[in-house]
Amino acid sequence: MNIILLGPPGSGKGTQSNNLVEKYNLSHISTGDILRSQIAQKTELGIAAKKYMDKGDLVPDNLIIDMVSNTTQSLQSILLDGFPRTINQAISLEEEMDKLGKKIDYVLYFEVPFGKLIDRLSQRISCRNCSKTFSKSDKEYVCQENCSEQDLYQREDDKPEAISKRMENYKDLTEPLLKFYESNGLLSKINADSSISEVSEEIDKILQ
């Protein structure tokens, strides 16, 4: 089973990925996490990507497409989180999957009103070590995955200016993918404006 999670920044793609990879034995490919790890290692790709990411801009297609195709080739069942994000990326993914004799089975679209997303992103705390996310309003947000309180941080792109830019880019460049995947019958809408466990149950109903 190969799945794409599609949705605006803060809609809960990363949160649900954690549940899905275990439950359905999927390999998680989060382009955001891969890029942040490249930045931490100060690789050529990380240095190039950082200047786009910090401002809330998308990293250019050519860099992202190469990065993903290097990762997907050897994997069986994949969960794509944050890719594709442009029509070019979607077309190149289709070509890559064709070459490998594979296909996308589901595109899960996480729907949340924009106002709620801003709240979620400005409240988000991320773990540098394991990428798990928390909300500042959670009673207990010390990471349980053998990470320490020092590993928690606010992402540079979760600051107000970058959030606005990310939302703008989502509307202009990523939202057109909804029609793209609707037209080939792959799109399933998820009400992602409910509790984490309710979202998870709704996804299970689609996948089972």
How many residues can be counted in the chain? 208
Q: Tell me if 190 contacts ligand AP5 by CB under 6 A.
A: no
* Residue 191 · residue 4 · CB < 8 Å: no
- Backbone CA torsion sign across 53, 62, 5, 44: negative
Through-space distance between the first and last CA atoms of the chain, rounded to whole angstroms: 11
* Residue 100 · residue 73 · CB < 8 Å: yes
Residue from 36, 120, 124, 132 carrying the catalytic annotation:
124
Among 3, 26, 29, 35, binds ligand AP5 (CB under 6 A): 35
CB 13 to ligand AP5: min, Å: 4
Instruction: Point out which residues pair with 127 in neighbouring strands.
Output: 152
Residue from 36, 85, 120, 132 carrying the catalytic annotation:
85
Instruction: Point out which residues pair with 80 in neighbouring strands.
Output: 4, 29
Residue from 36, 120, 132, 155 carrying the catalytic annotation:
155
Q: Is 153 helix (H, G, I), strand (E, B) or coil?
A: strand
CB 154 to ligand AP5: min, Å: 10
Q: Tell me if 135 contacts ligand AP5 by CB under 6 A.
A: yes
Reply yes or no on whether 36 is catalytic: no
Closest residue to ligand AP5 using C-beta atoms:
32
Instruction: Point out which residues pair with 29 in neighbouring strands.
Output: 80
Q: Which residues of this protein are in contact with ligand AP5, per CB under 6 A?
A: 7, 9-15, 31-32, 35, 52-53, 56-59, 64, 82-83, 85, 89, 120, 124, 133-135, 157, 166, 192, 195-196, 199
Residues involved in catalysis: 13, 85, 124, 155, 166
